[in-house]
Amino acid sequence: MTTYDRIYAVVRQIPPGTVATYGQVAALAGLPGRARLVGYALFRVTLPSTDIPWHRVINAKGEVSHSPQRRGTDHIQAQLLADEGIEREANGRINLRRYGWTPPGEKTGPSEESATECIPFWKPSL
């Protein structure tokens, strides 16, 4: 079990129709303050990925992180998010308060939560 494996394990939990930030994934993987590492790990994901919903990870500003190094996979990411019904705001950014993933066990107001084993299916659309 490598460090990256722990990161991938968290990403696998992100349900369809929601997004998580790099920093959020890092913290959930037990790597607080190492958001950058998540980016490094996701860069190494070999596409098409059958089991890692890599596209559901965006930056803290609600944007898909663009980079020439990504060889166009950033555009694919935006498309996959749109396909899941995630809409952009007028400013082009994704509203994290609306689509941000609230992992099981987070305090989000007065409501309770059940420890549901969240294993989202992942359609190999790539």
* Binding stretches for DNA (CB under 7 A): 2-5, 21-23, 33-45, 54-55, 57, 59-61, 64-65, 67-70, 73-74, 77, 91
- The span from the CA of 17 to the CA of 118, in Å, is 14
- The span from the CA of 35 to the CA of 112, in Å, is 28
CB nearer to DNA: pick between 15 and 23: 23
- Rounded to the nearest whole angstrom, what is the least distance from the CB of residue 113 to DNA in the complex? 23
- Rounded to the nearest whole angstrom, what is the least distance from the CB of residue 15 to DNA in the complex? 17
CB nearer to DNA: pick between 10 and 37: 37
- Rounded to the nearest whole angstrom, what is the least distance from the CB of residue 8 to DNA in the complex? 10
- Rounded to the nearest whole angstrom, what is the least distance from the CB of residue 11 to DNA in the complex? 9
- The span from the CA of 24 to the CA of 7, in Å, is 11
- The span from the CA of 50 to the CA of 27, in Å, is 24
81: nearest Cα among 58, 51, 50: 58
Contacts of 40 (CB under 8 A, 6+ apart): none
Contact 65, 39 (CB under 8 A): yes
CB nearer to DNA: pick between 9 and 35: 35
CB nearer to DNA: pick between 47 and 118: 47
